[in-house]
Chain A
Amino acid sequence: MMSTHLALQATQLPRSAGIDASWMQFWFTPADSRPLAMVRVLSASVALLLWWSYLADLQVWLGPEGVLPTEMVAQWRLNGGFSLFDFARSAVAVWVLFGITGVCFLLLMCGLCTSLVALLAAVFWASLMLAAPMLAGPADDCLAVLLWCLAIGPAGNFFSIDRWLSLRGGQPIAMPSWRASIALGLIQVHASVISGAMFLAQLKGDVWWDGSAAWWLAVRSESPLMNVQGALAQSDYLMNAVTHSITLFEILFAIGLWITPLRPIVATAGLLAWPLIGILAGEPLWGLTMVIFAVPSCLTRPTSA
């Protein structure tokens, strides 16, 4: 009995040590922050587009006389929470908060005072979402995740005004950082989780099994960029192939990010596949946001978990 127990211990110890080492290597090994800087520039660009979509109707939605008053939205949020916009009691205050959000995105894209601006951008974006949760879409959700990841890591070490200023001041160039490793790790985790959750959600629908989902996506009027209705109507096989390709890609993306040889392949495929899925689904900005999740895995060779 004792010998069996010792034998078990002997086999278990290296495994637990291996998990511990993998965890430490994945999260804490200092990483190059250039991929994070690219994520910063791309995220801020998409954020500005999404922010812009609120501009024309801002007062109609969030203004004091708007259709989504603070009291109603507070009742709508089942899980509680609050927004900075809850405290905006005048049209000017709404404009000011909204303007600050846009300035944060602009500064984030340029990389000025990046650490502070990334945090503020995440806070203000979350506030804007909570001010009108019923207006938020998939692109908004995924952007929120990216902004929080940027707030964690040193996203301004490259491709930024901050870097230009530090080089001009004679400061040493940025070293690899464990904060970058954590931020990039979280991006990878979320990329996998989002893709996996989509796959599971789709498995619940008959149209993803019988291969007709591509048709139902294409007939929605939000898909004017990719008018493939005619082709899908003519060929069952094409429609089935498009449908099954989407689900196959999603599960490959979710799993492949964790298999070292597959990671750059699925990530690079994601650069093409996510925008196409986004356009077909009538959510092109969401497709672009998903591309941002794939970018670090194309550029880096992160550790295996």
Chain B
Amino acid sequence: MARFSTPQTPPGVSPDLATESPAPQGRPSELIRAAITAALAIYLIGLVLTVMSNSGSGSSALLRTIKGRLFSPWMGPMWLDLGFDYRLTYGQAEDADHIIEVRPTLTSRVGKTFPLEATHASDTRLQEIRLPGAMTGERKARWQRLAKAIAITAEDPDRDSLLPTSIGTGLFDDLGATDVSLRVLRRPLAERSQTAADSSSVELEEVYAARVRRVGGQAAVQLIKSEAAGAVAPLIQPSRDK
């Protein structure tokens, strides 16, 4: 592998490159250096704050406010307001693959051909859409991120209805229905003790379910979220007098 040397180091440039690596030019003027130094210092502070504020563990109100007022307004539009907290896995259920499933709940449908190739049925009437279906690579990963985003924001009061409503509405035409059931499913991660046969026959878990329907005209869309059984049934064990 060819090695290149920066001019500040002793000239260790390989012979074939030496003729093309002339002596270094001067540094920028002092004024420019000062301006760039200030800009770099500000950016590096912003970088530290974005990493500290975008971690999965939350952040302090102080850091959040400083970052939100001073750095997010210009780092956000540049897609630099990032935490880089790529944990890869915690071995938890949330780390499993997520799937979006949408199916009509009413029979008022017309035959349509769904444009997504992975879920393209041989007949023209779709019973359900499962995404990412048979997709592969980064395309599949993007649909899985979308599915996971629905599951993650299900408890966020500001955003819980945004994605399910827009996805359900966006697929009305494809399913030929104005009343659909949307679910997010996930494939449980296989334990080490499970055999290959066990893991292949594992059933998908439902992590989110809602009904999306058009009501009272073209513009109004209603989201009816299905509560998980645990959320509506009491989890209290009957007391036992000892």
Contact = CB atoms under 8 A, between A and B. Distances in A.
Interface in B126-181: 137-146, 149, 158-159, 162-163, 165-167, 169-171, 173
A201 B56 contact: yes
B7 A141 contact: no
A166 B174 CA distance: 53
Interface in A207-236: 207, 212-213, 215-217, 219-222, 232-233
B6 A219 contact: no
B83 A126 contact: no
Interface string B176-189: 00000000000101
Interface residues of B, number: 80
B139 A144 contact: no
Contact of A176 (B12, B25, B116, B139): B25
A69 interface: yes
Given A66-B170, A72-B162, A175-B24, A53 B137 contact: yes
B57 interface: yes
A194 B5 contact: no
Contacts of B56: 201, 204
Interface in A103-136: 122, 125-126, 129-130, 134-136
A205 B138 CA distance: 26
Interface string B74-88: 001111111111111
A47 to B, nearest CB: 12
Contact of A134 (B51, B138, B145): B145
Contact of B171 (A67, A136, A144, A219): A67
Contacts of B115: 59-60
- The SS class assigned to the B binding surface is loop
A32 B95 contact: no
B3 interface: yes
B91 A30 contact: no
A32 B18 CA distance: 12
Contacts, number: 235
Interface string B1-39: 111111111001000000011101111100001001100
A148 B149 CA distance: 27
Given A81-B76, A141-B84, A202-B87, A134 B149 contact: yes
B80 A145 contact: yes
Contacts of A59: 115
Interface of B: 1-9, 12, 20-22, 24-28, 33, 36-37, 40, 44, 47, 51, 55-57, 68, 72-73, 76-91, 95-97, 115-117, 137-146, 149, 158-159, 162-163, 165-167, 169-171, 173, 187, 189-190, 192, 199
27 contacts: A30-B6, A31-B8, A32-B7, A32-B21, A54-B142, A68-B170, A79-B72, A80-B76, A125-B79, A126-B79, A135-B146, A175-B24, A176-B6, A176-B7, A193-B47, A193-B84, A194-B84, A194-B86, A197-B85, A202-B88, A206-B91, A217-B89, A220-B189, A233-B192, A281-B89, A299-B2, A302-B6
